[in-house]
Amino acid sequence: MAELSPLSAAALRTRCDPACFTFDTTASLPDHPGDLGQARAVEAIRFGLAMGHTGYHVFVLGEPGSGKHATTFRLLRERAAAEPVPPDLCYLHNFDEALKPQLLTLPAGRGGALRACMQTFIRELGPALESALGSDTHTERVEALQNAHKEREEGALRELGQACAADNISLLQTPEGFVFAPTREGEVMSPDAFEALPEAERKEIEGRVAGWSDKLEDLLNEFPGWRKAVRESIERAEQEALTPAVSHLLRGVREAHADLPEVLGFLDAVAHDVVDSAVNGTMLEEEDEDVAEAEESTRYHRYQVKLLVDHSASQGAPVVFENNPGYGNLIGRIEHVVQHGNQVTHFNLIRAGALHRANGGYLVLDAERLLTQPYAWEGLKRSLRAGEIRIEPPAEAQGWSGTLTLEPEAVPSALKVVLIGDRDVYYLLMEHDPDFADLFKVAADFDDDLPRTADSECEYARLMALLARSAKLLPIDRSGVARLVEEGSRLAEDAGRLSLNTRALSDLMREADHHARLRGLQATGRAEVEAALAARARRCNRYPLRVRESILDGTTLITTSGERAGQINGLVVVELAGERFGHPVRITATVRMGEGDVVDIEREAELGGAIHSKGVMILTAFLAARYARHQPLSLSASLVFEQSYAPVEGDSASLAELCALLSALTQIPIQQRFAITGSVNQFGEVQVIGGVNEKIEGFFDLCRERGLDGSHGVVIPAASVRHLMLREDVVEAAAQGLFHIHAIRTVDEAMTVLTGMPAGEPDAKGVIPKGTLNHKVATVLAEMTAARHAHADAEGSAGARQHRRRHGV
């Protein structure tokens, strides 16, 4: 069997020698680009951004704090700076269909200029119209037309009156209208006089009156045509008066936008609508409306230009990050105002979304925030699939609203969307959303760590220089950098790797900078980093302190001296609010004669997770395969985490459970000065586990409180040795021989360390030496099997005798 001596102190922590650095402080180091160890992810992002085909949007995935956002934005800005500025987006009133505003795209900066020109036009339009219609020339012309019409009507009536007077019939005008009356000697006859006339004369007069009434009716029927003609003449006069005035106002706008046919067409429509509205009197009606807004914004709002996206100040393609990707913030929205108790809207109330602002460039979204917003994810997919951005409220998008609203013309989309999220979100979308794989074909997976080499340590120092400058921190000297490198390995849970969690490193650097400034230093050193770590540990030590106190006062039963069969100190890790703590837990096993079943009490009580239950099943299989290949496994056993009242998950205690079971089976006591962690496979090989540093330190803290005497130690898998980055006090205790770490590869090695008894390996003939653990296990199992058979035979004989007595044999 291999040598089972404790690990040397040098193996417990891989230190970084400050002498390997050639700088004094990070102030002399150039900045790192910030993508250390992320070559694969950077390549994927650049590929996705360069692909012009549809569906090649990018999903950036990785653990929180891995620098996904910073690296992504740096690459986006580098690429966007070399790309052209996209056009301005404007909406115009549709003079044919008012509910369907028209889209107008203009070169960058021209949209704002057009809007300013139209605002000036609107301010000057009212006075210009009043001036044109109030001029002496136009007024005299209109009065002349009206006077001529009046004279024509009066002349026609006068001629008719003169003609009927010659026939002794007078044309009279009363409040009820025109009437004819007979006359005699120039005087209108009274009714009595008319009645006194002979009947024949009366009938003759009535006939003449009827004739003249028909002529009057014919004349009056001609009056509407005359009046229509004069109105048309007046309208032509008004048009001839207004057209030069409107053309004069728009002349400067036309000259400034002569190269844009769409703008010229819009100006033609505006000029035509202004003249028509003024002539038809709708302008005057609008002037009479009682509204609270500015006059020009209500009377002439349809002549305004709604500048949806203004790129006048942009340089290169836009890079937009939408922090609140709700449906309206993403797709855009149409706002309403209340007028006279009703909600109304118009094209000036259209608001741009992030897709509009990023059109022609890049849009960055947080995947988890996007998915938590109602309709936002479906709205984004709809826009990307259709290749256009259509502003419609969610109700209209889902087809279940009958509210009348605007239907703005869709904006053709030409942008790249970059989603940033966790790996879990990416894989869930890939599995459950068929559209996701078609739209986001590029995955940029950020690494969590990188190999720790001399070169990578130097690059790590440059990364720290970048983080320090970005946060405006004091420079860090080489000793401080060396300590941060060591902490990077601790964060990576691997002495041979360095964590790329820049968020955690930045936080530690800020806290160390705080201590350096309190001490009036010009640079942050190792002592300040150690002080920051110690202060953080104190802030977060309530839970581990309470656990340790409960053990020390005897509330929680943990023994660190003596020996006992079937009892062992396991190690667990608890994670709270991002901090991890280890502490020991008592595991016990009991054995009795049975049929080979091992009862996991945690599982039976529904406190054991699936992985923990799997570990118990594996150790059961190991027992049967090693010790009961040629005979039944004639035992029943129970395993339990004592004083455990919370769910237990993971298989890192399966080695401790197996050792406790073997000890209970053989009644060979386990030395309680040890704690053990590790998982085991069906061949009895010990496998790597997580949280090894926290577990060792948790047991060390307890033993130190009770007094280290050189006997205490922890047994860990040999495969976990490369993960050791223990605290300095633990390493120092190990160097002084006060605390020991044993690395084992098999269950046999673990039992040898825990019991002091050699495990015993079979010789060439398969014989296990006496006085060894395995020989004891085989002997006990053989005895249990024999006892089980004897018990079965006794029960069989008793049954046979009872059968013979029942049948009188």
Q: Which residues are catalytic?
A: 652, 695
**C-alpha 43: how far from its chain's center?**
23
- Dihedral, 672, 678, 679, 681 alpha carbons, nearest 10: -90
Q: How many C-beta atoms surround the C-beta of residue 219 within 10 A?
A: 15
How many Å apart are CA 777 and CA 665, to the nearest integer?
Answer: 7
The residue written with tokens 């044109």 in the block is 132
3-state secondary structure of 215: helix
Residue 759 exposure: Cα atoms within 13 Å on the Cβ side: 18
Q: Cα dist. 101→93, 105, 669 in Å?
A: 5, 13, 87
Task: Reduce the secondary structure of 124-173 to three states and give it as a string.
Answer: HHHHHHHHHHCCHHHHHHHHHHHHHHHHHHHHHHHHHHHHHHCCCEEEEE
Q: Would you say how long the chain is, in residues? A: 809
Q: How many C-beta atoms surround the C-beta of residue 800 within 10 A?
A: 11
Instruction: Please give the backbone phi and psi of residue 103, each rounded to the nearest 5 degrees, phi first.
Output: -85, 140
The pair of three-digit structure tokens given for residue 419, joined into one six-digit string: 């989603």
Note whether 60 and 68 are within 8 A (CB): yes
Amino acid at 318: P
Sequence-ordered alpha helix ranges (H) in 11-97: 39-50, 68-81
DSSP codes joined into one string, 393-452: -HHHHHT--------PPPEEP--EEEEEE-HHHHHHHHHH-HHHHHHB-EEEE--SEEE-
Instruction: Please give the backbone phi and psi of residue 761, each rounded to the nearest 5 degrees, phi first.
Output: -110, 140
Beta-bridged to residue 421, according to DSSP, are 61
The pair of three-digit structure tokens given for residue 423, joined into one six-digit string: 């790996």
How many Å apart are CA 539 and CA 533, to the nearest integer?
Answer: 10
Give 223's contacts (C-beta < 8 A, 6+ positions apart): 153
DSSP codes joined into one string, 590-647: EEEESSS-EEEHHHHTT-B-HHHHHHHHHHHHHHHHHH-SSS---EEEEEEETT--S-
How many Å apart are CA 61 and CA 467, to the nearest integer?
Answer: 21
How many Å apart are CA 105 and CA 85, to the nearest integer?
Answer: 13
Amino acid at 619: L
- Dihedral, 559, 563, 567, 568 alpha carbons, nearest 10: 70
Residue 133 exposure: Cα atoms within 13 Å on the Cβ side: 18
